[in-house]
Amino acid sequence: MTPACILVIEDEAHVRTLIQRILESAGLTVLPAEDGPSGIAVYEQHSSRIDLVLLDQTMPGLSGLQTLQELIRIRADVRAILMSGLLPEIPTPSPALVGIIQKPFRPTELLSVIEQALRP
């Protein structure tokens, strides 16, 4: 079975690298992106192989939710988990938003949320 492919959109390089290491050590394929526009570009190129998007809520330029709206325009059945250090407001429910994880999180918490999101 092909490992799941996760697009990680996170503007902090050290956080993005740590998440990539955690996911790859669990056998997942990771496509990293440093912000909303680069994440959208990666998604446009690889949407057919991306199973899940893990994106930061607060990023310069496009926020995580704004980025998610663009991903939905590319592929309506996109599935995403939102990461946030603080959630000032609960995002509007969306079929695309399959999970939320509060930063900081432990690797086991991240993998658990991803495992749940990847279930059919």
Mapped onto helix, strand or coil, the DSSP state of residue 104 is coil
Domain that holds residue 82: 5-118
pLDDT on residue 85: 83
Tell me the C-alpha distance between 25 and 87, whole Å. 28
- Tokens of residue 111, six digits: 């993998």
pLDDT digits (tens, 9 = 90+) for 54-108: 999 999 999 999 999 999 999 999 999 999 887 655 666 788 999 989 999 999 9
Cα–Cα separations (whole angstroms), residue 85 to 12, 22, 41, 74, 78? 12, 18, 25, 27, 23
With cut-offs at 50, 70 and 90, classify the pLDDT of residue 10. Answer: very high
Is cis: bond before 93, omega within 30 of 0?
no
pLDDT on residue 94: 82
Any idea what the CATH number is for the domain that residue 9 is in?
3.40.50.2300
pLDDT on residue 52: 98
Share of residues in the chain with pLDDT > 70 (%): 93
Count the domains in the chain: 1
- From the list 101, 86, 14, 3, the residue with the least C-alpha distance to 54 is 101
